[in-house]
Structure 1
């Protein structure tokens, strides 16, 4: 009996082997995060697309204005030559300039002015400033023509403003001197009242050619004396207030004629009256582009 109990007891205690199965790793878990991210991106792009609304007309106007500002191809604005202007007839603004640039729709105080871009505004202001400077040149030229002096000066419009160049061989200054000739005095007395009525600052800039001077230490003193004599004539005759005018000499460092020919050196013996524009820099930088697009 004892043997039977032992045998039975041993048989009743069967060991149950517990099998432990190792959990398999899920290698496709990244797909869930990737799908969530793509869903968010698709939603973002849909929202951005729905918010976008490009005005094709304004886009083309901005493109043209920026192209003109950086000196690239732009609508033809001016008619005339590309050299130094000898009269106002050389830089008349074409009648369709506003139509070409769309400026005719940007009237002061109008509803469209509020919607214009910064590039459109700068271009509009540059054209207006160019027209103002052109009008000043026209008035000076008309005054000189009335005294048979219309061919004695040259007009240029740069980023600085309107340049009235007194260049005519020995008409204004004899070689190596700063003494004003009778013709130079007549030109200044005729143009002075027109210039003096302007609100702009005036810079009188003297120049000399490369020939050495025997009356002055250097050409710097010679050019400065020429500018000073012109300034004195304008101020002492009551044409221009002394508070709005200054004189400076550039020596031979800024020639108009880049040549060693003696016949051409007379062009560098000159004084420039610069009517300085008060327009912002972003507007001034467009003036040369307008002036360069002649013809």
Structure 2
């Protein structure tokens, strides 16, 4: 076979096996656009279908629910394309009917009774009973007249006024009268679940010697009372605390000597009722005293 023949054969195969270059499709965006339009049309169809209410089926469901809840007069509001329950589903109030006046709370089915006031009255009664029990215990040891009481928004305050009965001037040492009072009151303080705070106070006369100021003196007096109640009386330490106020919280007493009545220690039995109820306690006390 000649060289020219072989060369011509290769050239022929080369021409026969070649592929033509594909033309670029410049209209492929139309396919994506058509797909997007199809999706949007489907979305609008679904939204339109959801906006339509089968009135017959809805009324049947409404009547069934109304009978199940004991309200046979559930209606559709007139003049509205939508379906709603009528105002009869909501109790009429004075504001809705054009009348004025506050809405009175209801307690135990009795209109016009403020539940917090009723709870405050109950709490005052309970604290008064607690005070009476402490008085009876102190009367048994001949110390009923040595303690002062008051009920306020914190709870029951048992005041040990240190007019040389419980403490000597500028001293935090418990005198025998103070020990007798604390030992008599301790069993009740052990039995109750309330938190207890012991608050020490002092008069405005500056101290000298052992204490640098009335702050230290009042704090030491409170601490000594706490220790007697815990170590001797058995009051749980987790429920009691001590604090000193110095001469910053004087007790107004027009009938007593301010230098004596403010040299005191208060044992506060804190009320456990909610704060809105405790805030009403002073007004309840004033109403009962008036």
TM-score by length of 1: 0.61
User: What's the CA shift for 1:61?
Assistant: 10
* Cα distance in structure 2, aligned partners of 1:116 and 1:192: 43
Q: CA deviation at 1:131?
A: 1.0
SS across alignment from 2:164: coil
Correspondence for 1:155: 149
Find out whether 1:284 has 2:284 as its counterpart.
Answer: no
Deviation at 1:264, TM superposition (A): 2.8
Q: Given the alignment of the two structures, is residue 246 of structure 1 paired with residue 286 of structure 2, yes or no? A: no
Choose the corresponding residue for 1:183, options 169, 174, 177.
Answer: 177
Q: For residue 62 of structure 1, report the CA deviation from its aligned partner.
A: 4.1
Residue 239 (structure 1) shift: 3.0
How many angstroms apart in 1 are the aligned matches of 2:256 and 2:132?
32
Q: State the alpha-carbon separation in 2 of the partners of residues 263 and 280 from structure 1.
A: 36
Q: Which has the larger radius of gyration?
A: 2
Q: CA deviation at 1:60?
A: 9.3
Distance of aligned partners of 1:135 and 1:166 in 2 relative to their CA distance in 1, 3 Å threshold = same
Q: Which residue of 2 aligns with 1:231?
A: 226
Within-5 A mapping of 1:17-166: 52=92, 62=104, 106=108, 112=109, 120-166=114-160
**What SS is found at the alignment partner of 1:151?**
helix
CA drift at 1:168: 4.7
1:132-167 alpha-carbon deviations (Å, 9 max, x no partner): 111110100011111111101111011000000011
2: CA distance, partners of 1:187 / 1:274: 15
User: Does residue 1:195 correspond to 2:189, yes or no?
Assistant: yes
**Does structure 2 retain, via aligned residues, the 8 Å contact 1:208–1:222?**
yes
1:272 equivalenced with 2:271 (yes/no) = no
Report the Cα distance in structure 1 between the residues aligned to 2:158 and 2:102, rounded to whole angstroms: 36
Separation in structure 2 between the aligned mates of residue 247 and residue 234 of structure 1, nearest angstrom: 11
1:179-215 per-position Cα deviation (integer Å, ceiling 9, x unaligned): 1110000000001111111000000000000000113
Change (3 A) 1:227 1:168: closer
Q: Which residue of 2 aligns with 1:213?
A: 207
Q: Deviations over 1:58-89 (max 9, x none)?
A: x89949xxxxxxxxxxxxxxxxxxxxxxxxxx
Show structure 1 runs of 5+ residues with no match: 1-46, 64-101, 107-111
**How far is the alpha carbon of 1:262 from its aligned partner?**
10
Q: Is the 8 A contact 2:136 2:144 kept in 1?
A: yes
Deviation string 1:240-261 (CA, Å, 9 cap, x unpaired) is 11110000000000011478x9
Q: Secondary structure at the match of 1:205?
A: strand
Per the alignment, do residues 288 and 61 of structure 1 end up closer, same or farther by CA in structure 2, a change over 3 Å counting?
farther
5+ long unaligned stretches in structure 2: 1-86, 95-100
CA contact (8 A) 1:152 1:168 kept: no
Taking the aligned partners of 1:51 and 1:193, their CA distance within structure 2 comes to 53
Kindly indicate whether the alpha-carbon contact (under 8 Å) linking 2:203 and 2:258 is maintained by their aligned counterparts in 1.
no
Residue 213 of structure 1 aligns to a residue in which SS? coil
